[in-house]
Amino acid sequence: MRRRAFILTALAMGLGRPAFAKGARGLVIHDSPIPVPALDIRDAESKPAGLDLLAGKPVLLNLWASWCMPCIAELPALDRLKPGLEAKGVALVALSLDRSGKIAVANTFARLGIKALDIRTDETRSAAEKLQAPALPVTLLIDRQGREIGRFIGAAEWDGAEASRLLDALASGARLTPDMAPPPVKVGTAP
Amino acid sequence: MRTMLIAILMFLAGLSAPPAEAADPTGVTGRFILTDMNGRTVTDEMYRGKIRLVTFGYTFCPDICPTILNTLSVALDHLGADRAKVETMFISVDPERDSPAHLKEYLNAFPGIMGLTGTPDQVAAAARNFNVRYERSPAEDGDPKAYSMDHTAALFIMDREGNFLARMPHASAPDRVAERVRSYLQPRRGEN
B67 interfaces chain A, CB cutoff of 8 Å: yes
Interface of B with A in 41-60 (CB under 8 A): 59-60
B66 interfaces chain A, CB cutoff of 8 Å: yes
Do the domain assignments include residue A149?
A: yes
**Mean pLDDT value of segment A69-85:** 96
Please judge whether A25 and B62 are an interchain contact, meaning their C-beta atoms are less than 8 angstroms apart: no
The whole-angstrom separation of Cα A96 and Cα A128 is: 10
**Mean pLDDT value of segment A68-94:** 96
**Residues on chain A touching B66 (C-beta within 8 angstroms):** 134-135
CA atoms within 13 A on the CB side of B33: 3
DSSP for residue B187: P
Q: Please give the residue that has the higher pLDDT: either A187 or A95.
A: A95
In angstroms, the separation between the Cα of residue A128 and the nearest Cα of chain B is: 8
CB neighbourhood size of B185 (10 A): 12
Instruction: For chain A, give the secondary structure using H, E and C.
Output: CHHHHHHHHHHHHHHCCHHHCCCCCEEEEEEEEEECCCCCCECCCCCECCHHHHCCCCEEEEEECCCCHHHHHHHHHHHHHHHHHHHCCCEEEEEECCCCCHHHHHHHHHHHCCCCCCCEECCCCCHHHHCCCCEECEEEEECCCCEEEEEEECCECCCCHHHHHHHHHHHHCCCCCHHHCCCECCCCCCC
Which of A67, A125, A186 has the CB atom closest to B109's CB atom?
A67
- Strand B51-57 with B86-92, pairing: parallel
Which pLDDT value is given to residue A25? 87
Q: Give the type of residue at A80.
A: R
**Residues on chain B touching A68 (C-beta within 8 angstroms):** 61, 65
The answer to whether the complex's ipTM is over 0.95 is no
Paired strand residues for A136: B65
**Residues on chain B touching A129 (C-beta within 8 angstroms):** 71, 74, 173-174
Residue spans per domain, chain B? 28-185
Asked whether the beta carbons of B70 and A97 are under 8 A apart, the reply is: yes
The whole-chain average pLDDT of chain A stands at 88
Which pLDDT value is given to residue B8? 45
Name residues whose C-beta falls within 8 Å of residue B18's C-beta, 6 or more positions apart in sequence.
Answer: none
Q: Give the type of residue at A133.
A: A
The whole-angstrom separation of Cα A132 and Cα A20 is: 8
Which pLDDT value is given to residue B19? 39
The whole-angstrom separation of Cα B179 and Cα B157 is: 12
Which of B63, B140, B170 has the CB atom closest to A154's CB atom?
B63
Do the domain assignments include residue A19?
A: no
In angstroms, the separation between the Cα of residue B112 and the nearest Cα of chain A is: 12
Helices (H), B80-119: 100-106
**Residues on chain B touching A132 (C-beta within 8 angstroms):** 171
Residue A11: pLDDT above 50?
A: no
Determine the residue of chain B that is closest to A68 in CA distance. B65
Which of B63, B139, B170 has the CB atom closest to A70's CB atom?
B63
In angstroms, the separation between the Cα of residue B3 and the nearest Cα of chain A is: 27
**Mean pLDDT value of segment A26-32:** 96
Please report, for the domain that includes residue A86, its CATH number. 3.40.30.10
Residue A98: pLDDT above 70?
A: yes
Which pLDDT value is given to residue B139? 85
pLDDT band at A85 (very low <50, low <70, confident <90, very high): very high
The whole-angstrom separation of Cα A25 and Cα A160 is: 19
Alpha carbon B127 to chain centroid distance? 8
Size of interface A-B (CB pairs under 8 A): 88
Please judge whether A128 and B146 are an interchain contact, meaning their C-beta atoms are less than 8 angstroms apart: no
CB neighbourhood size of B75 (10 A): 25
Range of the domain at A170: 24-180
Residue A55: pLDDT above 90?
A: no
CB neighbourhood size of A130 (10 A): 15
**What topology does CATH give the domain B28-185?**
Glutaredoxin (3.40.30)
Which pLDDT value is given to residue B24? 59
Please judge whether A135 and B67 are an interchain contact, meaning their C-beta atoms are less than 8 angstroms apart: yes
Which pLDDT value is given to residue A24? 81
- Geometric angle at alpha carbon B74, from B70 and B75, rounded to 5°: 115
pLDDT band at A102 (very low <50, low <70, confident <90, very high): very high
Asked whether the beta carbons of A141 and A170 are under 8 A apart, the reply is: yes
Which pLDDT value is given to residue A9? 37
Instruction: List, for chain B, all residue ranges whose pLDDT scores fall below the cut of 70.
Output: 1-25, 187-192
pLDDT band at A16 (very low <50, low <70, confident <90, very high): very low
Please judge whether B64 and A125 are an interchain contact, meaning their C-beta atoms are less than 8 angstroms apart: no
Dmax over CA atoms of chain A, in Å, equals 54
Buried b (16+ CB within 10 A) or exposed e, B99-134: bbebbeebbebbeebbbbbbeeebbeebbeebbbeb
Mutation for testing the B interface, residue in A20, A27, A72, A99 having most B CBs under 10 Å: A99
pLDDT digits (tens, 9 = 90+) for A128-166: 999 999 999 999 999 999 999 999 999 999 999 989 999
Do the domain assignments include residue A117?
A: yes
End-to-end Cα separation, chain A, in angstroms: 54
Which of B73, B141, B143 has the CB atom closest to A99's CB atom?
B73
Determine the residue of chain A that is closest to B145 in CA distance. A189
Name residues whose C-beta falls within 8 Å of residue B161's C-beta, 6 or more positions apart in sequence.
Answer: B48
Mutation for testing the A interface, residue in B58, B59, B60, B70 having most A CBs under 10 Å: B70
The whole-angstrom separation of Cα A81 and Cα B74 is: 32
From residue B31, give the alpha-carbon distance in Å to each of A39, B115, B123, B126.
Answer: 41, 16, 11, 6
**Total structural domains in chain A?**
1
B21 interfaces chain A, CB cutoff of 8 Å: no
